[in-house]
Structure 1
Amino acid sequence: MRSALGGPRLLLRRLREISAEPVSAQARLDKIVVQIAANMVAEVCSVYVLRADQRLELYATEGLNREAVHLTTMHSGEGLVGLIAKSAEPLALSEAQEHPAFSYKPETGEEAYHSFLGVPILRGG
């Protein structure tokens, strides 16, 4: 089944275009999450960045509460996002809140969603 916006090749081309735009990292990631959510026909797409202190910070989101950006953090290994960061492996769940690693972050508004797909984005390795 093809996505609403033309499939993976079009998505990759659009992500390359966004990455080349002369905008701030924040603006770039804000555009990327919107593009991925639309292409994947997903209600939510978020990017967490692993900081030098090994904490993951919600850096951009489409679908979660935008007020939670830069406020929501967790340790590597904490929650589903932390599990993915620690293992560097993707994770797909139909009922995310039933997973033992699930960590509820009320400020995000995530309680409205059930399924979860997380993919690590590795830089330089």
Structure 2
Amino acid sequence: MPRLQGVDIPTDRPTAVSLTYLYGVGPKTARELCLKAGVDPVARARELTEDEVARLAALLDKDYTVEGQLRRQVTQNISRLRDIACYRGIRHRRGLPVRGQRTKTNARTRKGPKKTVAGKKGVKDLR
């Protein structure tokens, strides 16, 4: 199983599809990588030679921001928004939708499962 940027890419898929398992690499970037490295994008990832894997790794290190570096940049941007207390930062802090999605529906896609809030007591039974 080839390993790039600390991630095992699947061997049973075409190389261009396997590269999309890296954070920050989409279909277009994966095809560009294959062309620049001289790798057949349709060939299975298990058919890659050590030399081809090394060329892909070198290209990723040199020309692209992926995996750990990209995750750190995204985290820094979110923490910056939280620190300056702008609208988006407040939404991140509260765990609410950031980009204008509605919150009045039953959808829990962004909000996740219901979180209990400390300090709120339920209505007592008055029998």
Higher strand share: 1
- Shared fold (TM-score greater than 0.5)? no
TM-score in terms of structure 2 length: 0.25
Higher helix share: 2
TM-score in terms of structure 1 length: 0.25
From the CA coordinates, give the structure whose radius of gyration is larger.
2
